Structure 1
Amino acid sequence: MSRLRIVLVMIEPPLPFGNAAARWFYVLYKGLVERGHQVTAFAACSQPEDLAKARTLFPAPTYDLRLYDFPIRSGWQSKWQTFLRPFSYMFSVDLVRDLNAVLTQDFDVLHLEQTWSGWLGIDHVGKTLVNVHYLAAIDLGEQQPRNVQEVIERFLIFGTEKRLLRKFRHFRTVSPRLEGPLLAINPKAEVMTVPLGLDGALYGYIPDELRTESRNLTLIGSMGWAPSHSAAIRLLSRLWPQIKRRVPDARLQIVGWSAREILSDYLGQRDVTIEENVPEIRPYFERASVMLYAPSRGSGMKVKIQEAMAFGIPVVTTSEGVEGLPALDGVHAGICEDDAGLIERTVALLLDAGLQNRQRLAARQLLEKHCGPGVTLDGIEKIYADIKGV
């Protein structure tokens, strides 16, 4: 593809082991520059310590990466801004000013990562690509608000999502599941699905001889995210007791942001370890025999499922868990919706190392073929070409 002038906006810095979205941003930004495109990237930053990490990974002049702290908002001006542009809180005045200055110059594509970034591209609809990671209309559509505050929040979320999705033409979704609901909101949209890319080179596949000999069941994910929270509650309250009965020497570890705080009712159980806010996640994958992640509802691809497959950890999950992956039950993962089936698949894997090794190798190969940097960046460039009309 010919060299393009791309302006990229991200809601977090592109870090290979940052939050879930940041892992994709790393693949995207690094890959576009390596392919010869001229990319000016803007990133909001919720964690001040991530600024230095990103600058080290993407030094000037090779990269043109501009980083901005999340603004500190308070008082009536903040409330007014929320009323005018809900969920634009992560974009500082400086970021908006500098971005608009760049957009006065010639560019080919304005690439906005995540729906809320749409606030920044309203004046450039024809050249803008909006990447939809998930849809709140799916994630929260069946949940009843618990109080007045949640009623107001849902009203803002659903209304803002529809408002922004109706303004643009070009969209990338990370899974086919998102296409239909997006088109229902905006029938004139041009939608293409490209999976969430993950750089497998950063995830050393754990060889058979180095895998744990213990039967360690694992769930890893941020407890502040509804799918991971629902998966943890289901595991602790419904799945784990029966698994433990059938595999008496099994142990359970749950790891994630705010896990001990949010799952406090489950602390102190025998053979159950809950850890939160850990600096490095790989050691917990290395201790895992099987990852059981069965969320009730949550659209978009699940990065922790991808990471487990990348490291070579066998996965048991639901169709929600493997959304965006053409995974087959019994081949790449144990996939089932009901408790009995999830328990059966987990027990079988815990008791059979050979089954673990066959499934985890197939999953790693699937991930490399479907979500590697090469294939996902090819898909992004195809969308750019469509926007350019070439």
Structure 2
Amino acid sequence: MMEGKNILLGVSGGIAAYKACALASKLTQKGADVRVMMTENSREFVAPLTFQALTRNPVYIDTFDEKDPEKIAHVDVADWADIILLAPATANIIGKIAGGIADGMLATTLLASKADVYIAPAMNVNMYAHPAVVRNMKQLEEWGYHFIEPGAGYLACGWVGKGRLEEPEQIIHTIEQHQSRDLLLLGKKVLISAGPTREDVDPVRFFTNRSSGRMGYALAEEAANLGAEVTLVTGPTELKLTNDAIKQVDVITAEEMFHVMHEHFPSSDIVIKAAAVADYRPKQVYKDKMKKQEEGLTIEMVRTKDILKSLGEMKNGQYLVGFAAETSNPLEYGRKKLTSKNLDAIVINNVSSEGAGFGGATNIVTYLNKFNQQHEVSLASKHVVAGEILRFIDRDMKDEEG
């Protein structure tokens, strides 16, 4: 998997920098083109000449050391890299990336790159567990960075616990495993709905719900990362896609979402309805702003079209997945929805659980397929949860095929 890959190895200032030497050597032996970028502090532990000898490439150490006047070095290497690997990654560099701070060449390059980024932390056990470090890692994970967890054992500081840089062989193995499954959905057309809908009362007021669209957007981006051709049908949100290859269709009302989903459904292989569509809309929409009255107000509501049920009725080979956001008896209601709407699988979550509510960066879900096979995904970022859901779908589809 490393043959012919352009890999930028970022080395930050920790005692584990000595392991980065073996890592650079092993990556080079596997056929990768390895370039090393070192922070100022890392050079207190290992000399740049060591990495130059191991990789047979120049080592980057200074943002302003521009050897080629036709190129901006940190932008050039950011575009060149297929993979960026931070090993060791200190609490300092993790905090800088999470905070968008670009005060050194490595941090600046990371902000300029769209490559896959793998982070292998190494630090004191108490630093690794500090709330600020945990928060920063969760933020990066939400943005799509991949973490390679440190090992546990005796640390250079004298403590025993989690914080030791993973061994070079295991780091490479983890990256190879991840890269090998990156195209699980290659050739598949995936249709995903996300966000809330808005149902107008008058030109000023509307009914909506608490959905932020984060789960649907995460599914769309992870599906695209896995090689799928993705169409995202989204209600009004404040989110922006990070992958330009995803086709985005904006809608506002449940009626609009119904028509767009039906338009794209026949040509799709996988359909995931993650949107929180309004079940009801006002029977009458006023052309002018309703004036405040002394007495109470009654607005008559009518049912919107059931998008998921209608897709289940017209299903012809598509793998159809729904979502069930519940506050009580989630598994019971999820199973009923799975059956009544002719779904292949359903993703169930209790939105009243801490870490699984609307608008948050994390989720906790149960994936249940039509064969009553059940998988739990514990508290994790919505991007991680999305990746797990897509892998469950891929496995189920392959099981059905044979």
**Counting helix residues as a fraction of each chain, which structure ranks higher?**
1
| Higher RCO (CA 8 Å, separation ≥ 6 residues) | 1
TM-score, L = length of structure 1 = 0.33
The structure whose Rg is larger is: 2
TM-score, L = length of structure 2 = 0.33
**Counting strand residues as a fraction of each chain, which structure ranks higher?**
2
